[in-house]
Structure formats: C-alpha cells, structure tokens
Chain A
C-alpha cells in the first residue's frame, strides 16, 4: 500500500527535547528538519548529506573551532546561537581571512524546551545570513537530564586568507602600535547583569558581532603592516595582551586614559569589584600594527560601524620580562597581569 503517512509536526510551543531526538530515528530526523534546517536553510544543508562539499578558491585556508557554553543562554544583545556564529567567524577573521563556511554541533539536554531551541536555531540562522557565512553541516546529540546545561554548541569555521598576508601571534615588534576596536567589557557585564543572584538593571547589551567586515577594511588599509589580531573574549584585553607578550617575547605599555570603556560598564565593574580589562568581549578586536600603517588602519576602522570607537591604546616595547604595563589615568604605573583564577567579586 502506498500513500502519504500522516505526520504530526513537532509541538514547538510546548514540546521538550527527549532522548529519542538523539537516537537516530524518525524523531531525530524531524527535529533536524523542522528546527535546524528551517532556521539555517541553504543549498548544502538541503542536500541532506553527512558532510558539505564545496570548492575553495586558491590561497591559504584557515580553520578554527570553538565551544559555546554560555549561561544564561539568552542575554541582552544576543543568545548562544548568534554567539556561536559570531565567535567562530571572528576567530577565522583574526587571521585576516574571509570566513566562508561554518559547521555546528549541538549537545542538547533532555527536557530542554523546543521553543527555546527553535529560538536559538533561528537566531543562529539570522546571524549566519547577516554575516554571509552559511552553516553547511552539523550534528545533534541528546544527553540525559543533568548531563549538560540546556544547550552546548560547537562551531567550526573555515576561511581563506588574502595572498601575501600572514598574521601571527609571534609578530609583534617593539615600536608597533596597539589598536583596540571599541569599548571593552560590554559582553561580560551584559551577561553578568542577568546571572542568578546578581541581576541588576542596565541598558547595556552584549557587543556580540561578526568582525570580518571590519577586518577586511583593515586589511585593505593596512596590508602587510598588520602583524597580529586577536579578539579579546574570555579574560578580556588583559589576557589577550599577556598571551601576545609571551608569544612575541615583547612587553606592552598601555595608556589607561586611552581605553574606551562605557560609563555603564565602568559603573558595574565598580560595583562588582571587577576590572574592565579582564571582562569578556564578543565583538571587539585588538590589533598590533606597524607604526607606519597605524594611522591608515585606525582611520579605516573608525569609518566602519564596528570600529567607530577604535583607539590606539598603547605600544609594544622591548621587555625581557614580557610584562604588560600600564600608565594609569592617575599618572602612576602598574602591571596588567594575567588573571588568577576567575575574576571574583571583592567583598570590601
């Protein structure tokens, strides 16, 4: 007997992820089709293969991967879905590369509401479309309740570097300029404002954004003058500069007065006993640039919407100790050290 079998659509509104959604059967196929394919739709996903096949134009290919375990899943200015797209695009872009394709792997906790999952997938699709970087292949697993925290997402990205460009962490040289693309700490403080036990009122939203457009403008303006770029996510600008100091065997000298910090972020940090230099960003980059290219790059950044507040915040110096030092706004000097453990609020 042939004929159409009646299939009920997923009850997105009230349904929850259960173990059958990861079991490889019909339920899993339905979840993938009605949640993920709907949201992320593109020609590669539509072919329904376990992998995506595509040609790459010649040049050096870069590849990166990143896991997203943010809590809360939804925060002012984004959610885990958009973050998983932006974060990986940015890691590709920091090589000066043009991001081309993404993959996404979801680990779902049994009992997670389908409505929330749909919201995350839709946000991911919107972010990918807006950035022009499609999610071309993916995977879904379901784990028992208590074995995950709602949703974990891993994304992998690949891209191609323009010919002649070779950015790398060991290339900072004394005399180079350090440019920051905008205000620091927005993402971390926006997230913290929604944490349990800590909710405070703020208009602040995460800066989560794809930076490849800004990077393309910088590459065009600065070319080989670009030494290294990195997005200061976890650990903030302080961690990023300490990593680069180690990798390039140099020191940094920052000027605190030049650091762009929003008043709301400064106020929240004051309240919580945090230092914005250590707070996470998701739409900012730090670039080390040869002094003769710095002015052109800075101008190109300021002409881009994501680099409006870009500023030269310091310079690379010769230092066997590989210290990141800062002239404080007060006129004294201090070290900007690695963070010890997690940045915990002070009590007094």
Chain B
C-alpha cells in the first residue's frame, strides 16, 4: 500500500468514505500526483467538485502493475494552480475541462481553451492553433462529415499535402449528462448511461451499476456478473469486426468490408438474443441483469457464436493475406510508444503502441476477478498495429466467450440494493471495446449523487489521433480515423 502513499488505495469497483480520502493543498496535490505519475501511475480522472463558491479537485490514478487505484482530493481552491500538463501531457484535457467548468486556471497550461462548451452556437469558435509560412494552408472539416457518423470539427494545418498539425474540436454532441446526474440517480439515469456512447452501452452500464452496487455495499449475484462479462465481449466482437470491415472499405478491399459489415450485425443479433436489443439496452441495472440465458437460449448462443467467430476470422484472414492492404497500413499514422505513454492512451490504441494496458487484466472487477482474456499487444504504433490488435482481440474475445459459456454459474440474476451510503465515493473501471471506461460517483449526506464523473476512453485517445496525423497526408485521415474509431458523444457527454 506504500506504493500509492500519500494517496488512498482502493481496488476497482469499490467504495471509500469521503472523509478517508486524503485532502491536500492544491500545490501539494499537483506535486504528489506528478510524483506518482513519474513512478508509472496513470491519470484516470481529474475533475472539479463545485459546491456553492467552493471548488475542489478530485484525482484518481491507476497503478496498473499493482492492480490498485489511488485517490486524493484538494482543499477548496481559488483562482489558479500550477498545471500538471507541462510535465504530464496526459492531464491536458482534464485541466481544460476543470477550467471550463469552474474557471480555475492551470498556470502554464500550453493550450488552454474550452473542451465542449458552446460559444456562439458552435463549439469550434475558439481560436485554433495556426502555422505560418510559405505554402502553409488550412483544411477545415466538419462538424457534418461525409458518412453516417457523429459530428466534430477537424482543423488541419498543412504544407502542400503534408499535415503539420491537426486540431480536433468537439462538443457538438453535448447533452448535459453529468450536470443532470446531480441529486440522482433519477428514473432516466440508467438509460442515459446506456447512451453516453451508444455503441458502448454494456461497458458504461456495467460501470454505473458496479458503482451503485459498491455504494450500497451489495455485490450483484455472480451469475449477473457472468452475464455482464459475456455481453461485454459480444460488444467488443461486434465493434472490432465492424472496424475491420470499415478499414477494409477505406482501402477499397471489398471482400472483407462486405463480409465484416454483415458479421458485425450477426454479433449485434446475439446481444439481441440475450436481451432483445442489439446494443444491449435494458440488460444491466444496479443490482444485476434483467434477462437470463436459459439452457436452450445458451445453446443457440453457443452455436451461432461459433459460426460467426469462424466467419469473422475467415473474412479477416483475406484482409491480412492481401499485400496491397498490408502495405497501405504499414508505417502510416504512427504513434510512438513514448508518445502513447505521455498522452495516456488507453485500450486497443495503447496496446497497438506496445503498452500492456487492459483493465480486465490490470484491475479485474466483477467476473474478471475469476477469469481474464490475455492482453493483445502489437508494438509498431501504426494503423497496421491497430488493426492487428483488433484481429487478436477478436480471436481472444471469441475464445474467452466460448470458455466462459462452459463455466456457467447457477443462481439468481439480480438482487435488491439498499440505499447508497452517504458521504462516499466509488470508482469503477471497465475495459470497453475502445478502452478504459471510468466512472466516479460521489454521494452527499442523503446518499444522493453529489457528483458523477464519466471518462470515456475517447477522452484519452482523441489526442492520439491528432498525433498520428502529423507527417502523414490529408488523404490518410480517413484510414487513421477509422483505425482509432473514437466516440464523439462519449467525449462530449
């Protein structure tokens, strides 16, 4: 436990009393956070808690090798504080977010501008970074993009075709989720959790449900945890397969794109077999799961799963067999391992830079305490690596699912929760298909939500896309973007 001192240690999916969380003067909090980050911790969340005129900062770190989370908070802060970002760039968006929400200025932050607020109708109106010089020009794309895709604005600084810098400006999708959670949970809360990022419904709903269970001191029945783990892998399989198809489409390799588009739907239909909804809506709630897998349904699931996994692997093998595909992805959109570590990438994007980071393995909670899928890593940091990691994860997820289905646990699928404990904080990390989903819940003296902080993996990873574009050409943007496939609404909240 010394390893996280002076922060308080806690494990993923657990509760800590508010008074047990060590509180420091802000300069001290910044300094100790910085020291722990130097020792290899990762910044999971850094957010402001505002009550009346008082602002205080809460910091959640992950010590991956120790499977521990560490938490601390600041005493009320006013005006400004020394920025973490110059030493630890992974804090840059968190500090911008805190500034946007509270006005607290991180001194010496290199690029302080809003994250998602709406200035004069469009969030992109804040000034962009500009490059000057002969032959330098700007390309502006969005918010409405060419395909059926969510909105965001991309501003490229180019010299000829070469991209010198890409700035990504989001906020168009902001629906006010966190703000309206105060005083909750409300009847709509679980539905909002499922639609934070609609393709990650299972991961976000699991994180929320686990937090509420931790706050009330009751664990969901084991069978519910098993069902959640199955649904999480089905979500990963569907999205990874879709991504492989989308990558193939963008390099005009139609056999794989046609097949994967269909197989993605097949995986979504397996989630619908489980709960009626292709995205897993309505399956998970605080206390357990709403639908069970009775023997005949489990049999159908197993049979279809085997077929679809084999289909997906065949279609993806065509992709890797084609030299024209491999050559198009090699050495394009590179994020170096050191950059990935500095900006705090998570999920497949981090694993494609050789970082061994996977919440299922590093911070097991729920069913993953008893069984883990191996972590799939590829070192090269380019689009090829991101496609490779997805391919490996489709294999590993498939194997994992088949194995877990055999290890079915009997028992009830839900339990009744007592009311959440007052003056507490709970943290849950879940490895969604894009990476680490982090939810932090804080309760007030009545056990109602005093604050609820959501960090979608995309919040960490959009900067990775911006870095990947440097030195590539504008026409490489679509394949780079697909190789990350990040969430706009998960970022905008």
Co-assembled chains A and B: no
